[in-house]
Amino acid sequence: MTKKEKIKKLKAILIKNPSNKKALELIGLLLIDENRFAEGISYLEKVLSIGTNNELDYLGLYIAYVETERFADAIKILNEYLEKNPAKLFIGTLEELVEDLKKGYATTYKDTIINLAKKNNIPIPDDLLE
């Protein structure tokens, strides 16, 4: 079965039950996997509004936000996930954000990124702490 067929089948499930979290989640992740980020975002946002603690939902939404240049939303969703699950951090992403700070990017979110890095034992260069 192709991804397109899977999405069609999952959408049929949503017609009967529009709040089916698993169907919403799978459609969102399949769309993102097909680089259909804007479409995938709406499904994953709905999953989060219903309530989820699934790391893939948050990371899928984070990736989609980054790919659509919604950087503020990307930081916000990553922060939301990390506040709920500090031990389940996607360490590579946080390390990349610290690296971005060192290069002068994402400075609007400097305090948030540094706080998350501290909570998750990510090394922070002294010059960022000034």
Helix, strand, coil percentages in the chain from 3-state DSSP, rounded to 5: 75, 0, 25
CATH number at residue 44: 1.25.40.10
Residues 67 and 104 grouped into a single domain: no
d(CA 100, CA 106) in angstroms, rounded, equals 7
Residue 82 lies in a domain: no
Percent pLDDT > 70 in the chain is 96
Residue 89 confidence (pLDDT): 53
Per-residue model confidence (pLDDT) at position 45: 95
What pLDDT is stored for residue 100 in this prediction?
84
Instruction: Tell me, yes or no, whether 73 and 100 share the same domain.
Output: no
Q: State how far the Cα of 108 lies from the Cα of 33, in Å rounded to an integer.
A: 29
Q: Structure pTM?
A: 0.66
The segments of the chain whose pLDDT lies below 50 read none
DSSP 40: H
Q: DSSP character for 106?
A: S
Q: What is the pLDDT at residue 88?
A: 56
Q: Which domain holds residue 48?
A: 1-77
pLDDT at 102: 85
Helices 3-16, 21-33: inter-axial angle, 10-degree rounding: 150
pLDDT at residue number 110: 83
- Do both 67 and 97 map to the same domain? no
60 and 2 in a common domain: yes
pLDDT of residue 46: 95
- Asked if residue 83 is part of any domain, the answer here is no
pLDDT, tens digit, 9 for 90 and up, residues 27-55: 998 999 899 999 999 999 999 999 877 88
How many domains does one find in the chain?
Answer: 2
5 and 39 part of one domain: yes
119 and 95, same domain (yes or no)? yes
- Give the closest residue to 6 by CA, choosing from 45, 34, 44, 48: 34
